[in-house]
Structure 1
Amino acid sequence: MPVHPPHAPGRAALALDAAFRARGPLLAAYLPAGYPDRATSLDLLHQLALASDVVEVGWPYTDPMMDGPIIQQAGAQALAAGFTVRHLMETVRSLAPVTHVLVMGYYQPLYRYGLRRAAKELAAAGAAGVILPDLNIDEAGPWLAEARRVGLHTVFVVAPTASDERLRRIAAGAGGMLYAPATSGVTGTTGSLSASLPSFVHRLRTLTSLPVGAGIGVSRPEQAARLRQFADAAIVGSAFIRAVQDNPGRAGIAAAAQLAGELRQALRLPAVAAA
């Protein structure tokens, strides 16, 4: 079993921890950096920041295995529009003073950029942590060492099929929260939430004190109201991209922000009132 260095969270990571303790379930809004283009991206993300609790800034990648067609297309559009890692860092730096920022990406581009360099620059920009859905806990040691050196949380996506022993190992390496899949598909799924999700979140609570966020397939206020009953965060991404796609120009920014407001309101209301 790998031995990970002690985790001393940085200022941004501690602020995210405090937000989980102080408020009801949080709304985490995801969008790829540079989407739909560099000129619009920051404005869109700032509007989402005002209407949500956490902004997850996507690091666009050419082979996003966990993402469905909507996020894949958005990431490809950002790359075609000239996305660079420098733009990602500038985006985090711009958002960090007004919201809690997590960067969601894949391990390969992070590794190519340089683990130490990426961790140092993300922490300096004000990120609270990084979500790496494809990072296996058995191979996470080098990244965790660099992330912990600068006080970044690492959020892992956890599978209901994992054993309790493995989930404990993942939780021991994680920080900020654990990411529980709300459906069995890829992002952008529009069906019902998994019937086993509440029991899986309850199981995680017997294994760790970390908050548990649920995402993948969460898109509607009624789903957020359901998550309010047992999860610590609702993670939403594809629905915001659909709002931008369906409403040209600045109307798309307004539609995405309105949806975020509706989702957060549903998370704050008692379940019977939100239904």
Structure 2
Amino acid sequence: MKSLTYFLQKKRETGKTLFVPYLMAGANGLENLAQEIHMLAECGADAIEIGIPFSDPVADGPTIQKAGLKALQKKVTLAKIIAALKEIHAPVPLIMMGYTNSFFRYGLEKFVEDIAQTDVKGMIIPDLPFDHRDLVKPVLDENDIALLQLISLTSSKKRITELLSVAEGFVYAVTLNGITGSKNDYEKKLDDHLAYITKQSSIPVLAGFGISQKEHVTRFKANCDGVVIGSKIVSTLENEGIAATRKMISQIMQ
């Protein structure tokens, strides 16, 4: 069992609603990344997603796209992010979220070798087809890095069973048919969908995409183990700063 899976399972056993926030690395300057990570941990994060800026982020909504472009304009690169993370002692596991091109261009084996010197324990690669996961799995498996699985609203029960059979870290249950932060009018069938995945899964299931209100968290924690919050955190950090973000998270997650 990967260490990230074990860590989150132990957290779930306490009855806590799991909380995984997302940051776009370098959007507010890499010099502020450590402060942002520690703030999120202090706000109860059980793990933290670190977004890698990319020019064509197909799964990201406008807020995260904008943050990624802002980071790219600041000349933030994957190499610089890894260098920064090597100097940061994260209080909770980190999960890198990025696109295949970034990791393969860097060199997958070199990438994994370098992040072994950080607190990164998981990866999310939304544009990596499930049937091609073996392009990265052997290298990740050798280095205790979990490859997290996304499950969409359109996944059949047969497909869900297949996805869950290899899931590790946590299951990312996508709550919308679309991109991150795109809307909040969740479908009524979503509750049954989340409940089904959670019942079938041996590891924690977290709902993500568009979660920005306390009411969303209350609704989803009735049918799964926690939530991923991205766009709301990214926009608040950019527009209002650390203190306001801390207050906003407290209000949503209390």
Tell me by how many angstroms 1:21 deviates.
Answer: 2.8
Partner of 1:191: 184
User: Which residue of 231, 241, 245 maps to 2:234?
Assistant: 241
Query: SS of the residue aligned with 2:155?
Result: coil
Partner of 1:260: 249
Distance 1:205 1:30 in 2: 22
For each residue in 1:14-66, what CA deviation from the matched residue of structure 2 results, as whole angstroms up to 9, or x when unmatched?
32332233342211110111122223333223212211322111111111001
Q: Percent identical across equivalent pairs? A: 26
For each residue in 1:232-263, what CA deviation from the matched residue of structure 2 results, as whole angstroms up to 9, or x when unmatched?
1211111112213332xxxx111111112222
User: Which residue of 166, 173, 179 maps to 1:173?
Assistant: 166
TM-score (norm 2): 0.91
Partner of 2:220: 227
Query: SS of the residue aligned with 1:128?
Result: strand
Tell me by how many angstroms 1:75 deviates.
Answer: 0.6
The AA in structure 2 aligned to 1:254 is A
Tell me by how many angstroms 1:70 deviates.
Answer: 0.6
Equivalent residues in 2 for 1:1-275, closer than 5 Å: 8-10=1-3, 12-53=4-45, 54-93=47-86, 96-247=89-240, 252-265=241-254
Q: Mark the CA change 1:92 to 1:263 in structure 2 (over 3 Å): closer, same or farther.
A: farther
Distance 2:108 2:199 in 1: 32
TM-score (norm 1): 0.84
Q: Mark the CA change 1:191 to 1:32 in structure 2 (over 3 Å): closer, same or farther.
A: same
Query: SS of the residue aligned with 2:136?
Result: helix
Bigger CA drift: 79-88 or 137-146?
A: 79-88
Distance 2:160 2:168 in 1: 13
Contact residue 102 and residue 129 of structure 1 kept, 8 A:
yes
For each residue in 1:64-107, what CA deviation from the matched residue of structure 2 results, as whole angstroms up to 9, or x when unmatched?
00101110010111111121223322444455541221111112
Query: Number of residues paired by the alignment?
Result: 253
Contact residue 27 and residue 71 of structure 2 kept, 8 A:
yes
- Runs of 5+ unmatched residues, structure 1: 1-7, 266-275
Query: SS of the residue aligned with 1:140?
Result: helix
Once superposed, which parts of structure 1, at least 4 consecutive aligned residues long, lie more than 3 Å away?
Answer: 90-97
For each residue in 1:153-182, what CA deviation from the matched residue of structure 2 results, as whole angstroms up to 9, or x when unmatched?
111211222233322222222211111112
Distance 1:227 1:124 in 2: 35
Contact residue 20 and residue 229 of structure 2 kept, 8 A:
yes
Query: SS of the residue aligned with 2:197?
Result: helix
Distance 2:41 2:170 in 1: 19
The AA in structure 2 aligned to 1:180 is A
Distance 1:167 1:92 in 2: 34
The AA in structure 1 aligned to 2:253 is R
- Runs of 5+ unmatched residues, structure 2: none
Contact residue 184 and residue 194 of structure 1 kept, 8 A:
no
The AA in structure 2 aligned to 1:137 is F
The AA in structure 2 aligned to 1:256 is T
Distance 2:188 2:115 in 1: 36
Distance 2:162 2:183 in 1: 31
